Amino acid sequence: MSMPDLKILVADDDPGARELICAILDAEGWPCPTTVEDGDVALSHLGKDHWDILVTDLDMPRMRGDELVLHALEVDPDLSIVVTTGDGTVGNAVDLIKMGATDFIPKPYDVDDFLASMERAKTRALGIHEVKGMRQTVEALLVALESKDRYLNGHSARVRDMAVKLGEFSGLDRGQLRALSHAALLHDIGKIGVHEDVLNKNGPLTDDEYDLIKKHPRMSADIIAPVLFLQPSLAGVLHHHEKWDGSGYPDGLTGEQIPLMARIIAVVDAFDAMTSDRSYRGAMTVVEAVARIREGAGTQFDPRIAALFDQYKDEIFESEEVTQ
Ligand SMILES: [Fe+2]
């Protein structure tokens, strides 16, 4: 999205202030904003269309600017909001930023200060737009992958949901959980580079075919490597087929050499694979699959993570449609 496409809404009860904002933005090559004179009208605009930036006055009759900020963020949590006010106390500014406003400028303002605030709001809006675009790209890739391998239907999303639950029980913080969530969703994306005949083969794989399959964690990591916000997820993706005893791939890591994120994904990935129909066998029951995870503790799986999975399995399955 470029600057001419930015959609800006201005709410101010003072016609002079509305005109001033339009004139400043116009002089600097910004797109012409839509202006409204109160919060109610602003909210009805926000409900009908997508907007990138809201500029609002704090002191307006009927609905105050801070009330508008709260309601506007309920409608669109991604909205960037610049608040202007004649009552420029520090307390006001702090309260508004806590509420989720992007920036705050006291009136009368300097044109350059106003433009600097608008630049901050624009940078934020463009960043949000980019992340949304990437999410859509990732979703499109997953749809492509899962349509190619009929046994993967819904696997990525199920592994993500269970990995996040198990990650919570393993004591990960919010940032780690976010990285885990992306890693678990994308762990098999590299299978997009493996031929469908191999992915969907009935019966045992030849050595060559197995070698090909074993390349998928590195291919997954290569696909996501250029994407900045997926950097913290790389290790989880690359090592999701390592085994605790060192017999896994791609690097044959052992024990705690394997990133924790990957040890978590390994357990829920194996569980989901066992409880789904695959080309080479039918689905196992949940009870059987849990028993297999228990048996694999200390050889295939991190024993602590496998025990947590066993202990909290009911909560972990809660978000899932696991059939007994
Ligand atoms: Fe995999």
Give pLDDT tens digits for 186-243.
999 999 888 888 888 888 889 999 999 999 999 999 999 988 889 999 999 999 999 9
Spatial distance between the Cα atoms of 102 and 3, rounded to a whole number of angstroms:
18
Residue 324 has pLDDT above 50, yes or no: no
Q: Domain 3-129 classified CATH 3.40.1350.10? A: no
Q: Is the peptide bond before 77 cis (omega within 30 degrees of 0)?
A: no
Greater model confidence, 321 or 67: 67
Tell me, in angstroms, the distance from the centre of ligand 1 to residue 197's CA: 17
Kindly state the tokens that stand for 116: 């600097």
Q: Domain boundaries in the chain?
A: 3-129, 149-318
Reduced to 3 states (helix: H, G, I; strand: E, B; else coil), residue 89 is coil
Q: Do domains 3-129 and 149-318 have the same CATH topology?
A: no
pLDDT band at 319 (very low <50, low <70, confident <90, very high): low
For residue 132, how far is its CA from the centre of ligand 1 (angstroms)?
26
Closest CA to 310 of 284, 285, 292: 292
Residue scoring higher pLDDT (118 or 200): 118
CA of 289 to the centre of ligand 1 (A): 17
What is the amino acid identity at position 102?
T
Query: Is residue 314's pLDDT more than 70?
Result: yes
Residue 97 pLDDT greater than 70, yes or no: yes
Pairwise pLDDT comparison (203 vs 82), residue with the higher score: 82
Position 119 scores a pLDDT of 95
The pLDDT, as a whole number, for residue 90 is 72
Please check whether residue 81 is in contact with residue 53, taking contact to mean a CB–CB distance below 8 angstroms: yes
Q: Give pLDDT, residue 321.
A: 52
Q: Is residue 22 over pLDDT 50? A: yes
CA 196 to ligand 1 center in whole angstroms: 15
On the question of pLDDT at 18 being above 60, the answer is yes
CA 237 to ligand 1 centroid distance, Å: 8
Query: How far is the centre of ligand 1, averaged over its atoms, from the C-alpha of 221 (Å)?
Result: 11
The 8-class DSSP code of residue 313 comes to H
Under a CB-based contact definition with an 8 Å cutoff, are residues 152 and 146 in contact?
Answer: yes
Residue 269 has pLDDT above 80, yes or no: yes
Angle (CA) 107-110-111 rounded to 5° is 115
Q: Interhelix angle for 174-186 vs 260-275, to 10°?
A: 40
Q: Ligand 1 centroid to 133 CA: how many Å?
A: 25
Six token digits for residue 294: 């228990």
CA of 323 to the centre of ligand 1 (A): 22
Q: Tell how far the Cα of 241 is from the centroid of ligand 1, in angstroms.
A: 6
Q: 179 alpha carbon to ligand 1 midpoint, in Å?
A: 17
Which neighbouring-strand residues pair with 54? 9, 81
CA of 193 to the centre of ligand 1 (A): 13
Instruction: State which fold the 149-318 domain adopts.
Output: Hypothetical protein af1432 (1.10.3210)
